Amino acid sequence: MNYFPIFIDITQKSCLVVGGGDIAYRKINLLLKANAQITCVSPACCDGVIQLAKDNKINLLTKAFEASDVTTQMLIVSATDDAALNTQVSELAKTANIPVNVVDSPDLCSFVMPSIVDRSPIVIAISSAGKAPVLARLIRAKLESSIPNAYGKLATLAGNFRGQVKAKFSHIEDRRYFWEKAFSGVVAEKVFAGKVEEAQADLQAQLDGSTDSDIGEVYLVGGGPGDPDLLTFKALRLMQQADVILYDRLVSDEVMELVRRDAELIYVGKERDNHSVPQDGINQLLVDLARQGRRVCRLKGGDPFIFGRGGEEIETLAENNIPFQVVPGITAASGCSTYSGIPLTHRDYSQSCRFVTGHLKDGSMNLPWSELAVEQQTIVFYMALKGAQHLSEQLQAHGMRGDMPVALVEKGTTPEHKVHTTSLAQLPDLVANETIHAPTLIIVGEVVKLREKLNWFDAKKPS
């Protein structure tokens, strides 16, 4: 190691910053996060430093640096563009045995400022020993995206119970098992969901032995329309910690590549008139797996609450007192239309948008056609490929123009993304004469005209 990693307590400790520009301002703000008492010395300062002084957050000395400014500080930072001054500050600090950091001059530093992931009291510092600070920041960005902000609250909660856990479990292995279970189970998930008081009660109940701590949890996760980059951070985290994944046919292969490697995979895909597992069976399976103490991810294409039967599944979970949480996903209408260059609303073409399922629970397509067949509205039909002729006939029969633009988006947002455009009257012929694969979304409305101008995703594909 070029530098020994160490965390220093500078709470209410005197720290000196030499320089008053934008870089110095950033360093000052970093030190303020650690509650340092800061004196800044500089003959000229940026607006940010001046405002901090006006707010009494720092002591500002508007003058040139002098050797006497180095006294008994806990640490010193020099952030000027004067090489001679930076060298002087470094030498004075080292002579006084005070840790010193000179910005962008590793050879003058006795310590370096790392890139920081702050989840206080959890703090992660990343350093390249001054060799590649941009790379360190990129690594920090990756960690920021995978570590929930609530980890700090979880650490604080654990600290409040540390004494009780130590008193209950005399062996360190027992304590470690208890905390590992807490940090990867319902208690942690409640903290992440903002239910800190509930998490505290659950943790206390587990210590008191007054709860069934062996019960698992179900995560109802929206996997989005196909592109794995559209997953939320929370969806990805739960997918990677679940013991069991129940997934359907609308979840793309690319999204499935991101689930936990050793998780048990159970396919429960449903097609029209061909359900590999009936819905009631899926509902009961979620309950049974959770009662075995498993962490179960019910992974759905799109969003669980938009034609995803998520409501039916969590009704069963609630009736059986199974802990669950729901993670929304980007629904197919939004993802497919965006990747096709078709805005669902536009001031010149559409002031409203309706999402409609292509077939009801009884298999029919009995819809309020007169409400749908109006101008200045976009209609998005889910699961309607087989009913394309019927919807074309019914919309026209209820007054919609036959030349109304229509788009069929096939396997939207995935590498196989394909868009077919036609008119409402010609829609049945298109479906009959072209080989179009599910999942396919049908968009009806004047906004489809904008695809020619706004299409961006297909334009980026290699020819």
- Residue 406, beta-bridge partner list: 422, 444
412 annotated to a ligand binding site: yes
């609308």: which residue's tokens? 250
Respond yes or no: is residue 270 known to be catalytic: yes
Is 303 annotated to bind a ligand? Reply is: yes
Rounded Cα distance between 42 and 50, Å, is 11
290 is written with which tokens?
């959770």
Residue in this structure with the two tokens 């000052």, named with its chain if needed? 28
- Residues 229, 233, 239, CA angle at the centre, nearest 5°? 90
State how far the Cα of 430 lies from the Cα of 407, in Å rounded to an integer. 11
Catalytic residue among 270, 386, 418, 449: 270
* Catalytic choice (153, 248, 300, 411): 248
Q: How far apart are CA 158 and CA 156, in angstroms?
A: 5
Three-class DSSP category at 122: strand
> Residue 166: which region, alpha, beta or left (left: phi > 0; alpha: psi -120 to 50)?
alpha
Q: How many residues does the chain have?
A: 463
Q: Is residue 53 part of an annotated ligand binding site?
A: no
E strands, 322-398, where? Answer: 324-327, 352-357, 377-382
Whether residue 403 lies in the annotated active site: no
Is 188 annotated as ligand-binding? Answer: no
What gap in Å lies between CA 218 and CA 322, rounded to an integer?
A: 7
20 among annotated binding-site residues: no
Was 43 annotated as part of a binding site?
A: yes
Please check if 302 is assigned to a binding site: yes
Annotated binding residue at 24?
A: no
225 is in an annotated binding site: yes
Asked if residue 24 lies in contact with residue 40, where contact means CB atoms within 8 angstroms, the answer is yes
Inter-axis angle of helices 22-33 and 47-54, to 10 degrees? 40
Please indicate if the annotation marks 106 as binding a ligand: no
**222 a known binding residue?**
no
Token pair, residue 39, equals: 């004196």
The 10 Å Cβ neighbour count of residue 63 is 10
Query: Could you tell me which residues are annotated as the binding site?
Result: 22-23, 43-44, 225, 301-303, 306, 331-332, 383, 412
Query: Could you tell me which residues are annotated as the binding site for S-adenosyl-L-methionine?
Result: 225, 301-303, 306, 331-332, 383, 412
Residues noted as catalytic: 248, 270
Query: Could you tell me which residues are annotated as the binding site for NAD(+)?
Result: 22-23, 43-44
